[in-house]
Amino acid sequence: MIYTFKEILNKHGVLVSELRNNLPAKEKEKERDAYVLGIITVLYEMFEKNEASKIVDAVIQDELIDYVL
């Protein structure tokens, strides 16, 4: 089941906020890439490879946090 953004915020708003606050600034590219790679790894563990690839290809880095939840 895929949740809407509103449902994600209702269920996990505090966690989304915390994950976004921990996302390194764009100026710290290496740290940001490592953080996002961790999120992508979780996606591939949660979904079949094809589905995870579609998500990763379709969204920007900041949006990946929403899909993990």
- State the residue range of the domain holding 20: 5-68
Per the structure, the count of domains in the chain is 1
Burial, 3: exposed, middle or buried (Cβ in 10 Å; 0-12, 13-18, 19+)?
middle
Left, alpha or beta for 17 (phi > 0: left; psi -120 to 50: alpha)? alpha
DSSP, res 38: H
pLDDT confidence of residue 31? 92
Pairwise pLDDT comparison (8 vs 52), residue with the higher score: 52
How much is the pTM? 0.58
